[in-house]
Chains A and B, each alone.
Chain A
Amino acid sequence: MTDVAVVAFAQSKHVAADPNRNEVEMLMPVVAEALEQAGLEREEIGFVCSGSCDYLLGVPFSFVTALDAIGAWPPIRESHVEQDAAWALYEAWVRLQHGDVDTALVYGFGKSSLGDLHEIMTLQLDPYYLEPLWPDMVSMAALQARAYLDATGKTERDLAEVVVRSRAAAASNPNAIVAGTTTADALLKEQTTIAPLRTSDCPPITDGAAVVILATADRARAISERPAWIRGIDHRIEAHSIGVRDLATSRSTALAAGRAGAADDKVDLAEMHAQFSHEELIVRDALGLDDSATVNPSGGPLAANPVMATGLIRIGEAASRISAGGGDRAVAHASSGPCLQHNLVAVLEGE
């Protein structure tokens, strides 16, 4: 395997709704910032890959116009996944194994404010047997939360503690939408919206974008003083129907973590794509983290959730902490689908 590292990461200042900028306008400054961090010109990038979802904008081919944020002239080597941009990063990592190019730029973007995200995600479900019942994304998550609490004996207070920690961590994240000091008691006074979940257990609707630049061995060292090396990366999917899964666990996360070597050494920090408070507890178990690991130091998706970029941001956040010397070994997790159906795990290390 060719060594590949994250050498730059930039994200937009996420907001609940950005009515004044389209996707390209949202992306362009983020692309520029990432290139500047890496000290690269656009023309030096060997491969470009992005992740987005047409249904967020409500038109087909939303990635086509987004390409203008990169400027694809002269023509470039480029690809796109209709998945969270963490999977675009995976494709770029594979592409860099080819050996003919040594840098890749990965971007993800989404404006959840344009439509009804909870209903759009319903369209991910089996179109014959499940989607016609219109279970929305939060209701599906609540089923998993209930299964988790029942199986573990944990309570809604444990969920609230996740929210308290997330908001406290987000206070130092300038890109967070939901941040600040609160207590479990205060949160538990809220009514549940879809039991056992409260609004505070759910991610904020967010518009945003993110960019990661990858580079191979020598190039990475030339670009960054302390590249965040991708020591392992793997992703796994599980059955679609929640009726055939053990919702209290995440087998696909555990499988991907094992393949990526997450538990091979001490983990200093983890960034998890846990959109709901209970997901953090489930993913944490699946990753096999002990109490010494700092969890979601950015505040995680509960602080800001620009859908289709959220997973990529986990990798970027983890990598930038490694590069800044805030840890030697990090695990980043990205997820897709109802009730954590599809999960990706990356292990990042300093030199």
Chain B
Amino acid sequence: MSERCAVVGVGQTKHKSARTDVSIAGLVREAARKALDDAEMDWSDVDAVVIGKAPDMFEGVVMPELYLADALGAVGKPMMRVHTAGSVGGSTALVATGLVQAGIHERVLVAAFEKQSESDAMWALTVSQPFSAPLVAGAGGYFAPLIRGYMRRSGAPDHIGMLVAVKDRKNALRNPNAHLHLHDIDMKMVEESPMLWEPLRYLETCPSSDGACAIVLGNEATAAKVPRRPAWIHGTAMRSEPTMFAGRDQVNPQAGKDCAADVFRQAGVTDPRRDLDCAEVYVPFSWYEPMWLENLGFCADGDGWKLTESGATAFDGDIPWNPSGGVLSSNPIGASGLIRFAEAAQQVRGEAGDYQVDGARRALGHAYGGGSQFFAMWVVGSDKP
């Protein structure tokens, strides 16, 4: 890799259940325009566009880069569409980063979106395939047994998931773009919400959102010219493992461990809890915070829930996780990974507004997808790598 790469602009829509006021193109363009404004750039300054989203069946548009080319100012430019399941938002940022690092382009616009109100993701996720066991359960039904596995293995008490659900929704109250603003959120409210997939209650689950996120990536020369502080990319990594393989540990996947080890090695992070100032991690169901704390090496195996319980991951803890409110507060699926990457960048740029972690200089962005077999991560920092 020859060129340094930095995030020089970030934009997001206000996420909500149904953005009936805009088309799909209107939604994505709204985020892209905000990202360009943040970088004080215009469409003509962009060399290439990379988009990502979850399955085409979520909106019913096949290969939507074709339809979105005009709205994203891509006419006459290279345009790519990445799809790596739920990790796609992260992977999209990484593919675009590669274009800048390789010296192919100087400025790349990255956009990811989902307009879940156009269809029913629960249905789109559970179409049964020939010769495969049908799983008409949605993502929650898939992950609930893995969470049970974690609880048994770690001996975590039942209330840990609810702690995460409350913490992330409280964080979301500081984030104007968050879908959920639950002003009265507390343990009792979560506990009294309906049980959806034992042990996951309704309020321990991510919402279904319409939303988009965009970032502008630039090379070193570009980063020197933009008005606001860039977030420098210190490391990038992707890993995948098979879906059907008896040797997999689905509770604590090897691909997640390998991906974290790779990205931390590149960024010179030896102790993530100590070396990072905050993390934006893909936690769509409450229990995934303690599970990923262990998988990503923020603590020893079996100790994740203790970190959560101690308040270490809270906004005022020593390693805040998801100060933006996370996936539990906004989930435009295809965009959720890019939002994690972008929120990590906002923290080290000092642009996170009311949920700015004081003095944040290095942060992790994380996304995962499928049945926990796809991972994408980056580490960003205030300083040049």
Contact = CB atoms under 8 A, between A and B. Distances in A.
A234 interface: yes
B182 interface: no
B125 A60 contact: yes
Interface in B203-234: none
B311 interface: no
Contacts of B24: 127
B130 to A, nearest CB: 7
Contact of A79 (B1, B58, B82, B124): B82
Interface string A241-279: 100000000011001000000000000000000000000
Given A72-B242, A94-B98, A234 B66 contact: no
Nearest to B125: A60
Interface stretch (B83-91, B296-304, B317-325): B83-91
Given A60-B125, A68-B242, A97 B66 contact: no
Interface in B1-36: 1, 23-24
A79 B238 contact: yes
A22 interface: yes
Contact of B95 (A57, A94, A125): A94
A135 interface: no
A79 B80 CA distance: 13
A339 B55 CA distance: 24
Contacts of B98: 91, 94-95, 97-98
Contacts of A79: 82, 84, 91, 94-95, 238
Interface string A17-35: 0000010000000000000
Contacts, number: 187
A60 B132 CA distance: 13
Contacts of A90: 80
Given A54-B57, A72-B241, A337 B63 contact: yes
Nearest to A74: B254
A86 to B, nearest CB: 11
B242 A57 contact: no
Contact of A238 (B76, B82, B124, B242): B76
Contact of A75 (B23, B75, B85, B255): B255
B127 A58 contact: yes
A338 B245 CA distance: 39
Interface stretch (B100-108, B281-289, B355-363): B100-108
Contacts of B59: 127
Nearest to A83: B81
Interface stretch (A116-124, A196-204, A322-330): A116-124
Interface of B is mostly: loop
B243 A94 contact: no
Contacts of A240: 66-70
A171 interface: no
A65 interface: yes
On chain A, which size bracket covers the interface? 35 or more
A237 B193 CA distance: 48
Given A78-B238, A97-B98, A121 B62 contact: yes
Contact of A55 (B62, B66, B67, B254): B62
B79 interface: yes
Contacts of A333: none
Nearest to B247: A73
B63 A82 contact: yes
Interface in B296-354: none
B104 A94 contact: yes
A78 B215 CA distance: 22
B239 interface: yes
A237 B75 contact: yes
B370 to A, nearest CB: 5
Best-surrounded residue of A58, A75, A76, A125 (most CB of chain B within 10 A): A75
Interface of B: 1, 23-24, 54-63, 65-70, 74-85, 91, 94-95, 98-99, 101-104, 124-125, 127-132, 237-245, 247-248, 253-255, 258-259, 370, 373-374
6 contacts: A77-B238, A77-B239, A78-B239, A80-B82, A98-B98, A342-B69
Interface of A: 1, 22, 48, 53-55, 57-61, 63-65, 67-68, 71-83, 87, 90-91, 94-95, 97-100, 120-121, 123-128, 131, 234-241, 251-252, 255, 336-338, 341-342
